[in-house]
Amino acid sequence: MSKKYCAYLCSGCGIGDALDLDELNGVVANEMSMECKVHSCMCGADGRGLIQKDIEEGVNAIVIGACSPRVMTKEFDFGEDKIVVRANLREQVIWSEVKPVEGQEPHKEAAAFLQETAADYMRMACTRAKKTELPEPYKLETINKTIMVMGGGIAGLTAASEASAAGYQVLLVEKEDKLGGKAIGWRKSFPTKAPWTDLEENPVDALIAKVTSDRNISIKTGTEVARIGGAPGNFAVSFKPTGAKTEWDAPAKVGVDEQDLIDKGQKEDPNAGLKKYTEVDPSATIVGSVVLATGWKPADVSKYEHLGYGAIKNVVTNVEFEQLAKAGKVPANVAFIQSPGGAEDDKDFPYCNSVTSMVALKQAQYVCSDNQDGKAYILYQHMRTPGHMELFYKSAQQNNGIFMTKANVTKVEEKTGKLAVVAENTLLGENLVLDVDMVVLAAGMEPTTLHENTINLAYRQGPAFSDLDLFDGYADSHFICFPYETRRTGIYTCGGVRKAETIEETIDDATGAALKAIQCLESTDRGVSVHPRSGDATYPEFFMQRCTQCKRCTEECPFGALDDDAKGTPLPNPTRCRRCGTCMGACPERIIGFKDYNIDLIGSMVKAIEVPEDDEDRLRIIVFACENDAYPALDMSGMKRNGLNHMIRVIPVRCLGSVNMAWIRDALSAGMDGAMLLGCTYGDNYQCHFVKGSEIANKRMENIGDTLSSLGLESERCAAEQVAITDYDKIPAILNDFVDQIVEMGPNPFKGF
């Protein structure tokens, strides 16, 4: 692309009052060799008209010094064939100015510091424009837009129906011989409308009839998925009869002891005869995207021996009781135990939740409605009835046949043809012994992905989703920001495999997953990325001639977008890619990059920052801030006028995982005094938007500390911090404390070399 550049400075929002725009214009024109124009309101009709007029005269690479690139995105969109780079002079320059403490004189050079910061941001923006190339979307030669739905329960049936209603062909796969899943065995469902007190008819039969009569939906029952290879728009799926074994099965998990027996010939190898798991069946069925709706299984409650499950005849799970109720076999006196009690005391059964609480309330009504003098006893530690279900709970409280109390159940035993339930620490302040006909244990809802390779992926990273222990086996990538999404692009989850849900919630969930699957297909057809960088037309390009087959990119990719050949050379799958750049950050040879985001581009931006020599008031600290949490939080900090030290320069990055340590080394070698990575919080209670980029970057920074020490630089000159998007009030202290630490160490000894 032959570029014609022009830069534009906005004097509105106080920018013109705080900065000398004539001087800034000179920096752009003289240092960056780029024409520069000033307008009082660049986002207004006249300001955009000025830019549009220049575009008509040939300008196609535009630099705008104004507000944050996170705002006014439509106003500064001049078409896919134009390069637009934004310099954040408002939120992160003039609004981040440190205000003097009341009663103190402002720093005599405060205006100069502000001007220097603005000049650096314009230098970086102009450099970015020069290094950026227009992306060329990656498009498949042929794309299949059939959506495969795995699972024929409420979730799968709904997803199939909704995708069909949107005009897409659907392939519905169910491992049982008939559709309906667990819902087939349910007698009633929870209320979904006012007054929120009355049980409703089970909708599953009507849903089955709707799906089976839909011409857009093909159905395979008694069938399992043996293997899924390929990528969005071109997934290759192999099937098998339920329970059968084929050469395309995903490999079974084999423990160390089991493998030792296999090696000694004392045990049969369960993976004998299987194809290499990254291979794809050449006769496979092709689909475009996948909705995983394989549901849940009742959690095991047999380990609670004091409750008698498996040893005492009439101790059953809530799932088993529902089937009895549908068959009309409801006893007159039933105890519903919601928590294991005993030594567990305040804990619930594993995978218990609001759904199991409401199931107990529903099933207690069966007892009273089916028996004239029926009595239901609900013994709980936590009763959860969110939203309108609180009215459902209150209606159960008003039922004279239902007794509820918080209690610690210590024993269930047989007693003269009955069952005795012993409970202590009740709300009555005394111990209870209940004589009942049946005990129902609130078995939680374990996702099928917890113990099974349900999805059976032919990916280098393995047949299942990675690191599922983060979410207790649930197949969701990020509950907070991206519902339905998994760590495998084009595969979306809904229903019990994603989280425990009621029928009403499952229907909403399945609709969302179907729409995500459609969105993925349409994005793939246009050659652009899906969430979280929706619409990004770039994709990683590899200069394979310099690849050393180190496998770091394939191992660190959070989404399985890279396979590799026998030598370890990466084999990209562009439609799987989320454009996070983690592969780019991992590569020691710097051979991976994007048209508008690569090692040279960001490295050149770092070098564009002016580094004053021998002036302790003008040290320079570079901050690489992730665009998902840290950069927005910095903007909001500016909006609140929290103040940032004038020595800081911020470069937004796609993800901290994309930060190549070459940027840090080059920055410090060029005389920068410190470097910080500021990204998403990671760990048990949160998650990086790109799954593990922030965590990977933190580990890389630990390693670079050793490198700096060998160069005679303090390892403390580099740091990595995690923030949530809501931490805008904490960011100034984090950054300013780091600056104080750098100031105490003094200037970088490489300064001036």
pLDDT of 125 over the 60 cut: yes
Q: What is the pLDDT of residue 618?
A: 87
Who has greater pLDDT, 479 or 624?
A: 624
pLDDT of 258 over the 60 cut: yes
Residue 676's SS3 state is strand
Which CATH number applies to 541-593?
A: 3.30.70.20
Q: pLDDT for 81-94, tens place per residue?
A: 999 999 999 999 99
Q: Which residues of 553-589 are buried (b: 16+ CB within 10 A; e: fewer)?
A: bbebbbbbbbbbeeeeebebbbbbbbbbbbbbbbbee
Q: pLDDT for 292-330, tens place per residue?
A: 999 999 999 999 999 999 999 999 999 999 999 999 999
Which CATH number applies to 597-753?
A: 3.40.50
Confidence band for 483, pLDDT divided at 50, 70 and 90: confident
- Segment 8-13 shows an average pLDDT of 96
Q: What is the pLDDT of residue 494?
A: 94
Query: Where are the extended beta strands (E) located within 360-486?
Result: 375-380, 402-406, 408-415, 418-424, 432-436, 438-441, 445-447
Q: What is the pLDDT of residue 685?
A: 64
Confidence band for 577, pLDDT divided at 50, 70 and 90: very high
Q: What is the pLDDT of residue 105?
A: 63
Domain with CATH 3.40.50.960 in the chain: 1-134
Confidence band for 752, pLDDT divided at 50, 70 and 90: low
d(CA 437, CA 419): 6
Confidence band for 666, pLDDT divided at 50, 70 and 90: confident
Q: What is the pLDDT of residue 53?
A: 97
pLDDT of 734 over the 60 cut: yes
In a 13 Å sphere around the CA of 693, the CA atoms on its Cβ side amount to: 30
d(CA 621, CA 664): 11
Q: What is the pLDDT of residue 453?
A: 77
Q: What is the pLDDT of residue 233?
A: 97
Q: What is the pLDDT of residue 599?
A: 96
Which CATH number applies to 1-134?
A: 3.40.50.960
Of all residues in the chain, the percent with pLDDT exceeding 70 is 96
Confidence band for 107, pLDDT divided at 50, 70 and 90: low
- Segment 474-499 shows an average pLDDT of 82
Of 164-178, 202-216, 473-487, the poorest mean pLDDT is in 473-487
Q: What is the pTM of this model?
A: 0.91
Domain with CATH 3.30.70.20 in the chain: 541-593
Q: What is the pLDDT of residue 462?
A: 82
d(CA 303, CA 317): 13
Confidence band for 162, pLDDT divided at 50, 70 and 90: very high
Who has greater pLDDT, 16 or 475?
A: 16
Domain with CATH 3.50.50.60 in the chain: 147-297+447-526, 300-443
pLDDT of 248 over the 80 cut: yes
- Segment 231-257 shows an average pLDDT of 89
Q: Which residues of 68-78 are buried (b: 16+ CB within 10 A; e: fewer)?
A: bbbbbeebbeb
Q: pLDDT for 627-642, tens place per residue?
A: 999 999 999 999 999 9
Q: What is the pLDDT of residue 451?
A: 77
Q: pLDDT for 454-481, tens place per residue?
A: 888 998 888 887 654 556 777 765 656 6
- Segment 581-585 shows an average pLDDT of 96
Of all residues in the chain, the percent with pLDDT exceeding 90 is 75
Confidence band for 482, pLDDT divided at 50, 70 and 90: confident
- Segment 421-443 shows an average pLDDT of 92
Is CATH 2.60.120.10 the right assignment for the domain spanning 300-443? no
Who has greater pLDDT, 472 or 146?
A: 146
- Dihedral, 10, 16, 21, 24 alpha carbons, nearest 10: -80
Q: pLDDT for 366-389, tens place per residue?
A: 999 999 999 999 999 999 999 999
Which CATH number applies to 147-297+447-526?
A: 3.50.50.60
pLDDT of 445 over the 90 cut: yes
Who has greater pLDDT, 198 or 482?
A: 198
248, 286, 570, 578 from 561: Cα distances, Å:
21, 18, 10, 8
